[in-house]
Amino acid sequence: MKHKNNPTYFILGLLSILFSGCDSSFLDREPLDQLSTSGSLSSTNELRLYLNQFYQGLPSHPAFTGGNGIAFDDAKTDNMIFTTVDNRLNGQMTVSNATAIDEYKQIRSVNFFIKQSVHAKGNQADINQYLGEAYFFRAWHYFTLVKKYGDVSWVNTLLNSEDESTYLERDSRVVIVDSILSDLDRSINLLKVQANNSTMRVHRDVALSLKSRVALYEGTWQRYHKLKNTPFFTATITEDKIKSYLTQARDAAKEIIDGNRWRIYSTGKYNDDYRNMFNTADLSNNGEVMLYRKHNPAENIGHGVSKYLSTGGGDIGLTQSLVGDYLTYDGKPFTGALQTEIQKIYGQDMRPSVRDPRLAQTAVLPQAPLRPDAVAANFPPINQSGFNRSTTGYPLYKYVEYTNMAATTDDGMSAAPVIYFRYAEVLLNYAEALAELQEDPTKIIEALRPLRARINMPDMDFDREYNASVEYPFSTLSKYIQAVRRERRVEMVAEGTRLQDIFRWAAADQLIVGKRPLGILFTGSNIVQENTTTGFYKDNLLYYDTAPTGKSINFYLTGNPGDATRYMDPYKSVLPNGYRFRTDRDYLLPIQQRMIELTNGKWKQNPNW
């Protein structure tokens, strides 16, 4: 049976693309080769202009507190929280929350480009470069689809909307990932080699980096979901196939390392270099950053991150789980009596003389500069409201442009860059692949040495760093895998990777289910003494356990009255039993019912939705 055709018309001019009409299906459109201007995509300049749309579509930073964007994406994980509970972590999503699968619009545009690019005239190296970018972006969008939905349909040609072949079944995620890796191999062979990010375009090492990311993702996804027997691994997957993904991840990363074109950014300022990479607008001279988005608020290309974080609150906060995962400065787990003793004085547990210096460059320390005319108070704004409030007492500092008045006071004036690919991730991918393949652990130490050297910390020592506490979520893992997972977490915090790390490790049962994110130590620290009519919080006192007449409880702590130590417990009243994430359902998103209908039932709903 033919489905009703309600096409979207694509009109390609020499300098822009205009979309009009409405969609009845992700494939239900007139072919893009019906052009309004003959000879389009006939020059390298037209190829470049066409591809610009895909760069513009890459993720950005949020415009406001609570918004979507890389800087705040970890608030949907165990790393950070907003005031509002995340629906997905709490198992509250329904099929009605399913969104349109817009990635296929981008994929069809890429397919059109690939078909039309054969007509382009000009320097062949430039034509190859742009064709390599196209394969990269097709891989990028399919990888996004796999992370969201698992099995999807692989479409690499322009299909006629009147053809029954547009009713495509979902291909296995293994088929999709193998096709993504094949596209990336094509991209790698076509793209130019660069030793810097000056072109602001995809180059060979960026494609290699994405290949390493994709292969590591799929190898670990299949391994751990199969180990835990979730509904989300491919039934026919073998250990040899899993190892082939991990091997590809290792080899792609190693090729970048061996190229010796990139380095970990370091000027010898152990307490500044890591942070400065994320609040410096122009990274063109940064040898670690392989691809990033440069903002220019003067041309209305900016975001709002610095404005909201420069209050010391931002209605966001790092969790105790994350802060506790940073090692001590001498490379040991921060646990037990040591942790309790140091946390008696607020802020001491974040000091670079005590902990991994990345912590003090990620969280706000007392008296840290927030704006040109302001520094952080001695205690966190846990008694405030709106974007002035810190949800956990550990405010986020990464990305704050504290020397830029406009960025910290005005909407849309933040120019902190979005980093898509950097050399640190390449090293982390390589180290994790080595650990998963059970290869020589000294290679892991060597790979991650530059990350430790940047902050003047000792090399990784798997025995010294191993956290054997039964309360530590990964205490049953090998010491090698535990170490590289921790290093990845603290190095990549607030860069949009944590949720998918949790998902590919099938670790929501350990990190999310039944858990509540906690904040700073309150009872048992000097902060409790500030909650008086003469203390720091005198203008808006915190009431917990009980409240005086005319007042309401506005603050929550772990444990019970009389306990010697009690931590901030922001979600205690709304999540009495912790997050209700469903490990048999919530690792993948639901499919719109409309999508199932438009494919004549060939697309099936994801498990247990």
Give the pLDDT confidence score for residue 275 in this predicted structure: 98
CA–centroid distance for 109 within its chain: 25
pLDDT of 28 higher than 50 = no
Is residue 328 included in any domain, yes or no?
Answer: yes
Query: Tell me, what amino acid is at 356?
Result: D
Last residue of a domain, one of 496, 529, 550: 496
Q: Percent of the chain, pLDDT > 90?
A: 90
Residues 6 or more apart whose Cβ sits within 8 Å of residue 587: 225, 230, 232, 503, 506, 508
Q: What is the pLDDT of residue 160?
A: 64
280 shares its domain with 424: yes
- For the cut 90, the answer to whether the pLDDT of residue 26 exceeds it is no
Q: Residue 38 above 50 pLDDT? A: no
What average pLDDT does the chain have?
A: 92
Distance CA 609, CA 607 (A): 6
Query: Does the residue 83 lie in any domain?
Result: no
Compute the distance between CA of residue 211 and CA of residue 253 in angstroms, rounded to an integer: 8
531 DSSP 8-state letter: S
Interval 550-572: pLDDT, tens: 999 999 999 999 999 999 999 99
> 440 and 308, same structural domain?
no
Alpha carbon 133 to its chain centroid, in Å, reads 22
> Is the domain of 429 the same as that of 412?
no
Task: Name the DSSP letter for residue 296.
Answer: B
Q: What is the mean pLDDT of residues 295-313?
A: 94
132 residue type, one letter:
G
Query: Among candidates 185, 179, 50, 174, which has minimal Cα distance to 120?
Result: 50
540 in the same domain as 486: no
For the CA atoms of 288, 290, 293, 295, what is the dihedral angle to 10 degrees?
A: 40
Q: Are residues 492 and 534 in the same domain?
A: no
pLDDT interval class at 595 (50, 70, 90): confident
**pLDDT for residue 564:** 97
Summarize pLDDT for 122-149 with one digit per residue, the tens.
999 999 999 999 999 999 999 999 999 9
3-state secondary structure of 438: coil
Beta bridge mates, 20: 9
Report the alpha-carbon distance of residue 331 to residue 453 in Å, rounded.
Answer: 12
d(CA 36, CA 532): 72
- Helices and strands, counts by H and E, the chain: 18, 10
Q: What are the residues facing 355 on neighbouring strands?
A: 328
Establish if 281 belongs to a structural domain: yes
| Dihedral of alpha carbons 31, 33, 34, 36, sign | positive
Whether residue 323 sits in one domain with residue 256: no
Cβ atoms 417, 575 nearer than 8 A: no
Q: Do 382 and 330 have their domain in common?
A: yes
Q: Are residues 216 and 307 in the same domain?
A: no
Q: Is residue 347 located within the same domain as residue 405?
A: yes
pLDDT band for 18, please (50, 70, 90 cuts).
very low
Question: What confidence category does residue 12 fall into, taking pLDDT thresholds of 50, 70 and 90?
Answer: very low
Number of domains in the chain: 3
pLDDT at residue 314, as a whole number: 96
Does 6 have pLDDT greater than 80? Answer: no
Q: 271 lies in a domain?
A: yes
Closest C-alpha among 251, 233, 104, 250 to residue 174: 233
Confirm if 208 and 193 have CB atoms less than 8 A apart: no
- Name the range with the highest mean pLDDT among 158-162, 239-243, 300-304: 239-243
Buried b (16+ CB within 10 A) or exposed e, 351-365: bbebbbbbbbbbbbb
The answer to whether 41 and 23 have CB atoms below 8 angstroms apart is no
Q: What is the pLDDT of residue 161?
A: 53
Q: Specify the residue for token string 């910290």.
A: 408
**Secondary structure of residue 80 in the 3-state scheme:** strand
Q: Is 70 exceeded by the pLDDT of residue 101?
A: yes
**Quick check: is 3 in a domain?**
no
Residues 345 and 276 in one domain: no
Q: What is the DSSP letter of 302?
A: -
Cα gap 39→560, rounded to integer Å: 74
Chain segment 438-471, per-residue pLDDT in tens: 999 999 999 999 999 999 999 999 999 999 999 9
Q: Among the three residues 496, 513, 548, which one is the final residue of a domain in this structure?
A: 496
Question: pLDDT value at position 166?
Answer: 54
- In this predicted structure, the answer to whether residue 9 has a pLDDT above a threshold of 90 is no
- Looking at the chain, the whole-number percentage of residues with pLDDT higher than 70 is 92
| Residue 20 pLDDT greater than 50, yes or no | no
CA distances from 600 to 169, 213, 596 (A): 10, 34, 7
Contact (CB, 8 A) for 491 and 451: yes
Q: Which of 384, 416, 448 is the last residue of a domain?
A: 416
| Structural contact between residues 398 and 493, judged by C-beta atoms closer than 8 angstroms | yes
Q: What is the pLDDT of residue 27?
A: 34
CATH number of the domain bearing residue 286: 1.25.40.900
User: pLDDT band at residue 171, thresholds of 50, 70 and 90?
Assistant: very high
- Write the CB contacts of 524 (distance below 8 Å, at least 6 apart in sequence): 340, 343, 344, 564, 565, 566
b/e 135-148 (16+ beta carbons within 10 angstroms → b)? bbbbbbbbbbbbbb
Give the per-residue pLDDT at 168: 86
HSE-CB of 24 using CA atoms within 13 angstroms: 16
In a domain, residue 346? The reply is yes
The pLDDT score that the predictor gives to residue 599 is 87
Is residue 290 one of the residues assigned to a domain? yes
- Please report, in angstroms and rounded to a whole number, the separation of the first and last CA atoms in the chain: 28
Same domain, 553 and 525: yes
pLDDT for 332-346, tens place per residue?
Answer: 999 999 999 999 999
Q: Which residues pair with 21 in a beta bridge?
A: 8
Q: What is the mean pLDDT of residues 312-330?
A: 97
Same domain flag for 423 and 290: yes
The whole-number pLDDT of residue 69 equals 96
Residue-range definition of the domain harbouring residue 265: 193-294+417-496
* Residue 6: inside a domain: no
Dihedral pair phi/psi, residue 349, rounded to 5°: -75, -10
Which pLDDT score is estimated for 158?
85
Report the alpha-carbon distance of residue 558 to residue 569 in Å, rounded: 6
From the list 309, 316, 314, 311, the residue with the least C-alpha distance to 83 is: 316
Residue 385 scores a pLDDT above 60:
yes
- pLDDT greater than 60 at residue 398: yes
